[in-house]
Amino acid sequence: MYPENFRYTKEHEWVLVEAGIGTIGITDHAQQELGDIVYVDLPKVGAAVDQGKSLGSVESVKAVSDVYSPVSGEVIEVNHALSEAPEKLNQDPHGDAWLVKVRLTAPGEISNLLSAAEYQSYIGAEK
């Protein structure tokens, strides 16, 4: 369910770091809690994001949820397909429906994040 090569936050984001680039998304657990996602608000390319700070938000019909960046860096790509089809976040949150790609400025931050096993036990306890 939760890929081993991702790192996770307690706010239910994931990041996959490859060659200094972090791909960020929300977890399957997050999309389930939110229900049908109707809108995604994302930063612009070039924006600076900080670990633990909001980088955007996702909305269902009756809730808005901030997305907190798992890493610090500069946004280099935004998944525009989500603005046309936000439902993808419900269908493939760990794959096609990534939110942004970020060039990391503090790669060491990764060590603050949860592993797949830790995240799974965290959401297990939350329930």
- List of residues contacting another protein (CB under 8 A): 36, 38-39, 59-64, 86-87
Cβ closer to another protein: 45 or 117? 45
CB 36 within 8 A of CB 61: yes
CB of 102 to another protein, least distance (A): 21
Q: How many Å apart are CA 116 and CA 119, to the nearest integer? A: 5
- The least distance separating another protein from the CB of residue 26, rounded to whole angstroms, comes to 16
- 62/80 with CB nearer another protein: 62
Instruction: Give min distance, CB of 37 to another protein, in A.
Output: 8
Q: Which is nearer to another protein, 38 or 116 (CB)?
A: 38
At its nearest, how many Å lie between another protein and the CB of residue 45? 16
Any residues with CB less than 8 A from the CB of 89 and at least 6 apart, and which?
A: 26, 31, 37, 40, 58, 82, 97
Tokens, residue 27: 């977890």
Place of tokens 């200094």: 20
